[in-house]
Amino acid sequence: MKNQSNFLVKSQTNQFSWRDIHVVVIAMFFVVEFAIAQQNYTQEISGTMQSIEMVFVEGGTFTMGSDDTEKGRYVDEGPQHTVAIDDFWIGKFEITWDLYQLFVERKIDGMASYQGDNEVEIKVDAISKATPPYTDMSFGMGTNGCPAIGMTQYAANKFCQWLSAITGNFYRLPTEAEWEYASRAGTQSKYSFGDDAKLLDEYGWYQANSEGKYHKVGQKKPNPWGLYDMHGNVAEWTLDQYLPNVYETRTSITINPLETPTNLYPRSVRGGSWRDFPEKLRSAARGRSSSTWKVRDPQIPKSIWWHTDADFVGFRIVRPKKIPSPIKQKMLWDETSN
């Protein structure tokens, strides 16, 4: 009886041990998920009610570009190649007029308030101020909660520099590679939700459903990493010069590629817009700026701040986890071309 009793106790102990292990495993899963979620944060803007939600993107490798068989593919999307990306945060939404007007008006420059180690070493009053546009750059499509549009790449860069100065955190535009990595969100399909363009209505604003205008950010479903409007609404600036054949020069694994701009046109934009057909909204689709985006600008010389004919291009921001040197920061912000 003693041996039998010991056996029963031992069996019960083992039973509870496995149950405990199961509970611990589940608990660990939720702890990991919570820890990852905790790396997301909200950037408050001192002196205002505005803020920017930032989503953490863990770095890794992915296949950039599209396969020869992908429907709607353009030749500049190949050949496919492997790219490695470092950790970064990216805006959950496109930058809205509510935020961009703060930069244009510059009324809050003296309200910068932050604590801890600063990632940047720049005074806000040293940053160039945008000139006001000669016309309503929303073109009557709305401003409250809507994506800001029509700024040049130079202006988008300067917004990032200004935001960095007033927050103490280093912000910039995404590279083309970072943008595609974030858009794909771990997928290799045409869109982050799959290959079926019929589902696009659920995820983005484009030619067929936009009613001829952009819409407030975040109205459609997000991609698997919680990013909104990566497909459509407005196209988005990246840091890169647009080079149609650049993928052909990349071999093995390319680490954090950036095609530093040397010419005014074209610069790279991504994501497609409310004007575009579905093929332009694919994760691999590449867009480019043009001098025609300033046709209606009456100024001589034409503005370095505004593209008066680009009512379809805006941007979102990135904060790299690895902070570049002050010299590198300045290089990323201070492209003198527009």
Q: Are 299 and 131 in contact (CB under 8 A)?
A: no
What is the full DSSP assignment across 186-200?
T--SSBTTBS-GGGG
Quote the CA–CA distance of 169 and 88 in Å, as a whole number.
13
The stretch 253-261 carries a mean pLDDT of 97
**Apex CA 140: angle with CA 137 and CA 144, to 5°?**
85
Quote the CA–CA distance of 220 and 226 in Å, as a whole number.
11
**pLDDT score, position 30:** 43
Residue 92, C-beta contacts closer than 8 angstroms, at least 6 positions apart? 53, 54, 55, 218, 222, 226, 227, 228
List the single range of 91-105, 191-205, 219-233, 295-309 with lowest mean pLDDT: 295-309
> Is the predicted pLDDT of residue 337 greater than 70, yes or no?
no
**Apex CA 164: angle with CA 162 and CA 168, to 5°?**
135
Q: What percent of the chain has pLDDT over 90?
A: 80
Reading the block at residue 110, the tokens are 């003296």
The stretch 187-210 carries a mean pLDDT of 98
Span 126-181, pLDDT tens digits: 999 999 998 999 999 999 999 999 999 999 999 999 999 999 999 999 999 999 99
**pLDDT score, position 300:** 78
Q: What is the DSSP letter of 105?
A: H
Among candidate residues 242, 240, 238, 249, the one with its CA nearest the CA of residue 79: 249
Span 204-254, pLDDT tens digits: 999 999 999 999 999 999 999 999 999 999 999 999 999 999 999 998 899
Quote the CA–CA distance of 163 and 27 in Å, as a whole number.
38
> Is the predicted pLDDT of residue 99 greater than 70, yes or no?
yes
pTM passes above 0.85: yes
Q: Are 156 and 304 in contact (CB under 8 A)?
A: no
Reading the block at residue 217, the tokens are 């950010």
State the pLDDT confidence band at 334, using cuts at 50, 70 and 90.
confident
